[in-house]
């Protein structure tokens, strides 16, 4: 357990439960409010299709924050910081790699880092 986790658990040691309980719906509302307060307002374009009709909706990013997006972000960032897929799956509670891999988005920056680590920076040919 990390130092941060221990500090949070120590705070609630005297309570009947290790952590306060809040419903998923209320947690999602709180995340959206928090995101707005801290200025997570980048515009995100979501494209959906209804038959052949292309429908584009634009939302401020804080409107899209949920516990689920937090879980996906945690999985992606954990892999980018060097945790193995197995370790990350253990923390997130995934037992099947196929379902876990839907949570992870490999960024272009991560691809560059991994390729350079494995193969070195490309040499310039004169």
Quickly list DSSP for 8-34: HHHHTTTSSSSS----HHHHHHHHHHH
Using pLDDT thresholds of 50, 70 and 90, give the confidence band for residue 60. very high
The two tokens of residue 44 are: 């995100």
Using pLDDT thresholds of 50, 70 and 90, give the confidence band for residue 122. low
pLDDT of residue 18: 75
Q: In the predicted model, is pLDDT for residue 51 greater than 90? A: yes
pLDDT of residue 126: 60
In whole numbers, what is the pLDDT of the chain averaged over residues?
88
Using pLDDT thresholds of 50, 70 and 90, give the confidence band for residue 23. very high
Percentage with pLDDT > 90 across the chain: 41
């Amino acid at each position: 357990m990390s130092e941060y986790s221990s500090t949070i658990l120590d705070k609630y040691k005297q309570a009947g439960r290790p952590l306060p309980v809040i419903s998923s719906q209320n947690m999602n509302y709180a995340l959206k409010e928090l995101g707005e307060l801290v200025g997570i307002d980048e515009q995100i374009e979501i494209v959906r299709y209804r038959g052949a009709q292309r429908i584009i909706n634009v939302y401020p990013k804080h409107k899209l924050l949920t516990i689920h997006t937090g879980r996906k972000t945690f999985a992606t960032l954990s892999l980018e910081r060097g945790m193995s897929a197995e370790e990350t799956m253990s923390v997130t509670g995934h037992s099947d790699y196929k379902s876990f891999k839907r949570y992870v988005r490999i960024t272009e920056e991560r691809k560059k880092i991994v390729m350079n680590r494995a193969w070195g920076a490309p040499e310039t040919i004169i």
